[in-house]
């Protein structure tokens, strides 16, 4: 019998990627909207873990089904870890976020432009138990946008000589913070098999 998981998000990029990977375990993934829960959760947490948990709990409490949520963001060392948990609320649009960040770093030399993307996935199983999976990708901030693939800060985040936006989705998933956290989550699902934990 097919198991239903709910993604506490309506982000189609995330849903498509995860849906493909969960199919082989007999799991059908629905976005929260597809599951009939059209709500916005206030991300009031101080950490990625707290925000992921807030989103997962909100949908789990409504659906009583296994729920997955994640929260991620960019930490820039020269800005004392900003924008961090406020990455999505840093400005209105991706372009505005990028321009604001580049402006804040305009006098920062290359060696001090270190940064990292972080993500935390919160998975609540059908018993209501919470499980957390983290991913980190180290890199630095460039001086201008490069590449057209991706979203958010991808065009200015450089890792191993290329921005995230200059990579294919597959290449990015191999090294990205979200890719690493997702791999740990899927490893856990595989280990549990079709046990009651699902």
Which CATH number is 13's domain given? 3.90.950.10
pLDDT 10s digits, 34-51: 999 989 998 899 999 999
Q: Domain residues for 133?
A: 3-192
pTM exceeding 0.85? yes
The answer on pLDDT for 16 being more than 50 is: yes
Q: Which of 35-39, 109-113, 125-129, 190-194 has the lowest mean pLDDT?
A: 190-194
Please check whether residue 13 lies inside any domain of the structure: yes
SS3 67: strand
Please check whether residue 154 lies inside any domain of the structure: yes
Please check whether residue 21 lies inside any domain of the structure: yes
- DSSP 8-state assignment for residue 5: E
24 falls in which pLDDT band (50, 70, 90)?
confident
- Our count of domains for the chain comes to 1
pLDDT for 169 equals 86
196 falls in which pLDDT band (50, 70, 90)?
very low
List phi, psi (to 5°) of 162: -135, 150
Catalytic hit among 71, 80, 107, 110: 71
Distance CA 158, CA 116 (A): 10
The answer on pLDDT for 124 being more than 60 is: yes
CA max distance for the chain = 58
- DSSP 8-state assignment for residue 113: -
- Cis before residue 187, ω within 30 degrees of 0? no
Please check whether residue 186 lies inside any domain of the structure: yes
The answer on pLDDT for 197 being more than 50 is: no
pLDDT 10s digits, 131-188: 999 999 999 999 999 999 988 999 999 999 999 999 998 899 889 999 999 999 999 9
Does the annotation count 94 as an active-site position? no
Please check whether residue 63 lies inside any domain of the structure: yes
Please check whether residue 197 lies inside any domain of the structure: no
pLDDT for 1 equals 61
Please check whether residue 198 lies inside any domain of the structure: no
The answer on pLDDT for 198 being more than 50 is: no
Distance CA 194, CA 66 (A): 13
Please check whether residue 71 lies inside any domain of the structure: yes
- Which residues, in sequence order, are CB contacts of 109 under 8 Å at separation 6+? none
Distance CA 190, CA 198 (A): 10
Q: What is the pLDDT averaged over residues 73-98? A: 95
């Amino acid at each position: 019998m097919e198991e239903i998981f709910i993604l506490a998000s309506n982000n189609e990029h995330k849903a498509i990627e995860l849906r493909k990977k969960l199919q082989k375990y007999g799991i059908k993934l629905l976005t929260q909207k597809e599951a009939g829960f059209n709500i916005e959760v206030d991300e009031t947490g101080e950490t990625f873990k707290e925000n992921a948990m807030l989103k997962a709990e909100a949908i789990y409490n409504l659906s009583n089904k296994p729920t997955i949520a994640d929260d991620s963001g960019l930490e820039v060392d020269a800005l004392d870890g900003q924008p961090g948990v406020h990455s999505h609320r840093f400005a209105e649009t991706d372009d505005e976020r990028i321009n604001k960040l580049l402006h804040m770093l305009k006098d920062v030399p290359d060696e001090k432009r270190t940064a990292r993307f972080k993500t935390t996935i919160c998975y609540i199983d059908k018993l209501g138990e919470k499980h957390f999976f983290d991913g980190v990708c180290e890199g630095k901030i460039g001086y201008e946008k490069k590449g057209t693939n991706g979203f958010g800060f991808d065009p200015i985040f450089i890792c191993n000589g290329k921005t995230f936006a200059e990579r294919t989705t597959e290449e990015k998933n191999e090294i990205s913070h979200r890719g690493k956290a997702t791999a740990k989550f899927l490893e856990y699902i595989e280990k549990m098999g079709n046990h009651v934990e699902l």
